[in-house]
Amino acid sequence: PEDVGIKAIEFVFPKQYVDQTELEKYDGIDAGKYTIGLGQKQMGFCSELEDINSLCLTAFNRLVDRFSLKYEDIGRVDVGTETIVDKSKSVKSVLMSLFEKSGNFNVEGLDTTNACYGGTAALFNAVSWVESSLWDGRLAVVVAGDIAVYAKGNARPTGGAGAVAMLIGSNAPLVFERHLRGTYMSHVYDFYKPDLTSEYPVVDGPLSIKCYFKALDNCYRVYREHTRDPDFTLNKFDAFCFHSPFCKLVQKSFARLILNDFIRCGQKNLYYPGLEDFRNVTLDLVFSDKKEDKIQSKKTEDKFLEYSKNTFKIKTEPSLELASRIGNMYTASVYSCLISYLSSKSAKELAGKRIGLFSYGSGLASTMYSIRVKDCAELGKLVENCRCIRERLDTRKKLAPEEFEAVMDQREKSLHRVPFHSGRSTSELFPEIVKIEYPGEYEKELWQIDDK
């Protein structure tokens, strides 16, 4: 098949959010830490009425509706998530309830899990199927979603929630560049969820950031090698989307890719005016615990942030609209960035552009890959839908930090609790269409949301 890639895309997020400036005040910390220090404006969150099944069902259902797809035309569904509600039954198997009426049960694919990377692994599985000898000409759908919640403390403002659904097939407007990938995986405990009775991860924040940078450096090196272009630099991308735990990390990562280019150019770094004093810096500086290295590393980071400011504004800042207003959505995060970027341009402006993507999941798994935007009839509809997704952000409801905390407390109480009935009204969700009931004594009620 020719031009395998993303043919359509849909995204769902919670109807309620909390404002990060208000959260700073409520948490009693210095103004600016969440908004300037982390680069976050708002954070979306789900009440106990929603779980990963309801989010993924809704994303899938909306994709089918909005792009007038037929269930019998779908031959594969892959799901990426780290939000577990059942240790055996997959989210994919729940999605099969949507196929019931069509009579199509010949649908391959299941769930893939590794922190924020599962969505990318699911995507690669779907792409491999379309490119394989097993492909029967039908379409694949990839759903990636998570509810990202942290215990009270430093990490809490970096939560969020959302789910993406992507239609994968041939002759797509967003074409994956074959042979161009750089992967880095290693065993590390930067963020993990060993307590199966809690939704919250155990996280070593500073270590997770170092791991993210290390993964970024290595993926970029391997990706570049695969291009076989000795002069390859970030200039060869028109746009770059990152996994976004918080937006400031994305800005630093963009600057770090330029630092990678600068270091690799060696003597040629004459091309980087104003950076002469940094000729001897190494990528390892940021990983060092020595005091003098830390000082030099911070100086380097600040300099490259300043140096890359204008390019960042063009290539990456437009990708951060959903991430800055919803927060980290784990597996869906990098795809929310892709949607934001696409929504910021017209189809005409996008045609021919090359977009780099970096997907990171703690633990850790990471890949850098790229997409080329192809001018074709489906591009207009895809871009138009991205714009609708972005506009839906303004229809959400702001809740006070106290209410956000109460919802988090309620989630803690209701998690894995059976039987459970929420006293909360479903009118607080986007207008619902399907009620999902869990069987037997597991009476938790969940609602599928839709704003049709």
Catalogue the active-site residues. Answer: 82, 116, 243
CA dist 333 and 320 (Å) reads: 10
User: For ligand ACO, which residue of 26, 37, 108, 232 counts as binding (CB under 6 A)?
Assistant: 37
User: For ligand ACO, which residue of 43, 56, 116, 407 counts as binding (CB under 6 A)?
Assistant: 116
| CA 380 from centre of chain | 23
Q: How far is the CB of 244 from ligand ACO (least distance, A)?
A: 8
Q: Decide if residue 262 touches ligand ACO (CB under 6 A).
A: no
The stretches of 351-400 forming alpha helices (DSSP H) are: 377-392
CA dist 150 and 343 (Å) reads: 29
User: For ligand ACO, which residue of 42, 158, 260, 344 counts as binding (CB under 6 A)?
Assistant: 158
- Cα–Cα–Cα angle for 21, 23, 29, nearest 5°? 90
Q: Decide if residue 245 touches ligand ACO (CB under 6 A).
A: yes
CA dist 284 and 299 (Å) reads: 14
Pairing mode, strands 354-361 and 365-373: antiparallel
Q: Coil, strand or helix: which one is 235?
A: helix
CA dist 71 and 199 (Å) reads: 33
Q: Decide if residue 306 touches ligand ACO (CB under 6 A).
A: no
Q: How far is the CB of 254 from ligand ACO (least distance, A)?
A: 14
The stretches of 87-204 forming alpha helices (DSSP H) are: 91-95, 118-131
What does the DSSP assignment read for 66-79?
HTT--GGGEEEEEE
Residue with tokens 């341009």: 345
Q: Decide if residue 33 touches ligand ACO (CB under 6 A).
A: yes
For ligand ACO, the nearest residue by Cβ is 37
Facing residues of 435 across strands? 447
Q: How far is the CB of 392 from ligand ACO (least distance, A)?
A: 24
* x-or-dash string of contact with ligand ACO, 263-302, rule CB under 6 A: ----------------------------------------
Residues 6+ apart with CB under 8 A from 301: 252, 255, 256, 286
Q: How far is the CB of 203 from ligand ACO (least distance, A)?
A: 5
Q: Decide if residue 134 touches ligand ACO (CB under 6 A).
A: no
For residues 140 and 164, which CB has a smaller minimum distance to ligand ACO in the complex?
164
Q: Coil, strand or helix: which one is 219?
A: helix
Residues 6+ apart with CB under 8 A from 277: none
User: For ligand ACO, which residue of 84, 96, 185, 209 counts as binding (CB under 6 A)?
Assistant: 209
User: For ligand ACO, which residue of 104, 154, 183, 198 counts as binding (CB under 6 A)?
Assistant: 154
* x-or-dash string of contact with ligand ACO, 388-427, rule CB under 6 A: ----------------------------------------
For residues 30 and 100, which CB has a smaller minimum distance to ligand ACO in the complex?
30
CA dist 347 and 14 (Å) reads: 28
Q: Decide if residue 22 touches ligand ACO (CB under 6 A).
A: no
Q: Decide if residue 32 touches ligand ACO (CB under 6 A).
A: yes
For residues 123 and 215, which CB has a smaller minimum distance to ligand ACO in the complex?
215
155 token code pair = 């990490």
Segment near ligand ACO (CB under 6 A); pick from 67-75, 103-111, 230-238, 242-250: 242-250
Q: How many CB atoms lie within 10 A of CB 105?
A: 8
User: For ligand ACO, which residue of 113, 362, 367, 385 counts as binding (CB under 6 A)?
Assistant: 362
Q: Decide if residue 303 touches ligand ACO (CB under 6 A).
A: no
First-to-final CA distance of the chain? 34
Segment near ligand ACO (CB under 6 A); pick from 73-81, 241-249, 267-275, 392-400: 241-249
Q: Decide if residue 203 touches ligand ACO (CB under 6 A).
A: yes
CA dist 255 and 249 (Å) reads: 10
CA-nearest of 398, 451, 449, 452 to 49 is: 449
Chain positions contacting ligand ACO, by CB under 6 A: 30-33, 36-38, 116, 154-155, 158, 191, 203, 205, 208-209, 212, 245-246, 249, 328, 362
